[in-house]
């Protein structure tokens, strides 16, 4: 909203840097013949899912998380590629290194986006907007890739600002502008508000962030629960005091649920197992790590508890890999003991650097890990239940 310098010495300056159509643009650096053409990357088989699409393909309605079969009907003339995991990781490392030249506090979010704390750097680089342009130019000159940068006093405001910077631009919202900037936007533009919360707010006749910020607290708390209501109402005003720091790397990542009544039906257990696997997978990818194996935890009606684990053929972070492994363990455990289950949990273990080599046995790297990253983006924007892997 403004290119003027920040007026408060205490105001944080957070950059959210996002590489536009990253997979496509990285492929174009390898093959310039793709420039200017509609390109779709993802699973290219009959059950494939789009990981990303070039802006030329998006004009035809193609978007991330869409079934590739649907994308082919919308844009048959597009070039469909499976993708190159190793290429993307190599380019991602170079991208993060460029960002670290401007700030010691860089927090990667995924292979193609990161936050930077640029507070107090005006004396080093000049005005905030000019610094953002310097970073974009460095990324363009060194990697040949376009980048969009959102600038705000917090991670939340910077993140939302980036959508207004796309494609290949810069957009800044200062602290005193944040609430008015958020006010006219649809509630679904707020990260973390998905279809379910959006529908609940619609019943309260709340459609914009300004209406959400000004809504009576009582009805909102009854509809969303007190903690969630207070959280989203605060964020609807552009308020976000979360520190900018990398998460402590855990040795494992897990999720579990306790059933209201013990469950023995395979179909119900498999549904919950899929949801838990996706939750674990999302957290794993956000950590920037890959896991060497997965395990399940089962607690029966008599409170006896067992765990079973299995090592992956190669380190991974995809939802389908986690679910398939956990499902095999669940089936084996239920064959050994068919009692109803009180608690079900999934975890991934042996966490290591994401740059681990893909196994030569992996003939379709884009079908799981990269597609899961695409689904993460959809879930973050539209809610955890907006999209999920289908059942075979």
Spell out the per-residue pLDDT of the chain, length 392, in tens: 544 444 344 689 999 999 999 999 999 999 999 999 999 998 877 767 888 999 999 999 999 878 899 999 999 999 999 888 889 989 999 999 999 999 989 999 888 999 999 998 988 898 999 999 999 999 999 999 999 999 999 999 999 999 999 999 999 999 999 999 999 999 999 988 888 888 999 999 999 999 999 999 999 999 998 888 999 999 999 999 888 876 555 678 999 998 989 999 999 999 999 999 999 998 888 777 889 999 999 999 888 999 999 999 888 888 999 999 999 999 999 999 999 999 999 999 988 754 333 332 233 444 455 555 555 555 555 554 544 555 44
Hey, CA dihedral for 183, 186, 188, 189, is it positive or negative? negative
pLDDT at 357: 32
Asked about 380 being catalytic, the answer comes back as no
Q: Domain spans of the chain?
A: 14-152+167-172, 183-236, 252-382
Considering just the CA atoms, what is the radius of gyration of the chain in Å? 22
Catalytic residue among 113, 127, 179, 385: 113
Q: Which long-range contacts (CB under 8 A, 24 or more apart) does 303-312 make?
A: 303/342, 305/343, 306/333, 308/332, 308/333, 309/349, 311/350
Closest CA to 31 of 79, 100, 97: 79
| 14-152+167-172 topology per CATH | MutS, DNA mismatch repair protein, domain I (3.40.1170)
pLDDT at 242: 83
Beta strands in the chain (DSSP E): 14-19, 39-42, 50-53, 79-81, 106-110, 113-117, 147-152, 170-172, 252-263, 289-300, 305-316, 341-349, 352-353
pLDDT at 364: 45
Q: Which CATH architecture best describes the domain 252-382?
A: 2-Layer Sandwich (3.30)
Q: Which residues pair with 347 in a beta bridge?
A: 254, 295
pLDDT at 388: 53
User: Which residue, chain included where needed, has tokens 């389908």?
Assistant: 320
| 183-236 topology per CATH | DNA polymerase; domain 1 (1.10.150)
Residue 302 CB: number of other CB atoms within 10 A? 9
State the SS3 of 302-346.
CCCEEEEEEEEEEEECCHHHHHHHHHHHHHHHHHHCCCCEEEEEE
| CA within 13 Å, CB half, 344 | 28
In a 10 Å sphere around its CB, with 0-12 CB exposed, 13-18 middle and 19+ buried, how is residue 243 labelled? Answer: exposed
Q: Which residues pair with 14 in a beta bridge?
A: 117, 152
pLDDT at 250: 63
């Amino acid at each position: 909203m403004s290119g003027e310098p920040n007026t408060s010495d205490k105001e944080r300056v957070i950059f959210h840097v996002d590489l536009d159509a990253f997979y496509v643009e990285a492929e174009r650096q390898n093959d310039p013949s793709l420039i200017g053409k509609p390109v779709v990357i993802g699973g290219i088989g009959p059950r494939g899912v789009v990981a990303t699409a070039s802006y030329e393909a998006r004009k035809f309605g193609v978007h991330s998380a869409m079934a590739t079969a649907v994308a082919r009907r919308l844009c048959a003339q597009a070039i469909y590629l499976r993708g190159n995991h190793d290429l993307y990781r190599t380019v991602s490392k170079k991208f993060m290194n460029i960002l670290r030249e401007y700030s010691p506090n860089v927090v990667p979010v995924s292979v193609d986006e990161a936050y930077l704390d640029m507070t107090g750097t005006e004396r080093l680089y000049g005005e905030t907007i000019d610094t953002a342009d310097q970073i974009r130019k460095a990324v363009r000159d060194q990697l040949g890739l376009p980048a969009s940068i959102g600038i705000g006093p917090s991670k939340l405001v910077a993140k939302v600002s980036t959508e207004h910077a796309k494609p290949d631009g810069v957009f800044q919202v200062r602290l005193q502008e944040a609430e008015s900037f958020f006010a006219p936007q649809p509630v679904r533009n707020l990260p973390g508000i998905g279809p379910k919360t959006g529908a609940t707010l619609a019943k309260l006749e709340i459609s914009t962030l300004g209406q959400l910020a000004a809504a009576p607290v009582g009805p909102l708390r009854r509809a969303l629960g007190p903690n969630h209501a207070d959280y989203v109402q605060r964020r609807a005003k552009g308020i976000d005091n979360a520190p900018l720091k990398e998460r402590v790397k855990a040795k494992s990542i897990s999720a579990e649920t306790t059933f209201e009544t013990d469950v023995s039906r395979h179909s119900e257990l498999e549904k919950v197992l899929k949801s838990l696997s996706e939750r674990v997978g999302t957290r794993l990818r956000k950590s920037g790590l890959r896991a060497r194996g997965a395990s399940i935890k089962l607690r029966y009606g008599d409170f006896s508890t067992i765990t079973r684990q299995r090592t992956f053929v190669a380190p991974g972070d995809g939802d389908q890999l986690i679910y398939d492994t956990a499902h095999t363990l669940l089936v084996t455990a239920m064959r050994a003991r068919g009692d109803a289950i009180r608690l079900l949990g999934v975890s991934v273990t042996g966490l290591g650097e994401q740059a681990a080599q893909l196994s030569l046995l992996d003939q379709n790297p884009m079908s799981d890990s990269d597609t899961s990253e695409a689904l993460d983006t959809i879930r973050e924007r539209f809610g955890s239940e907006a999209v999920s892997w289908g059942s075979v």
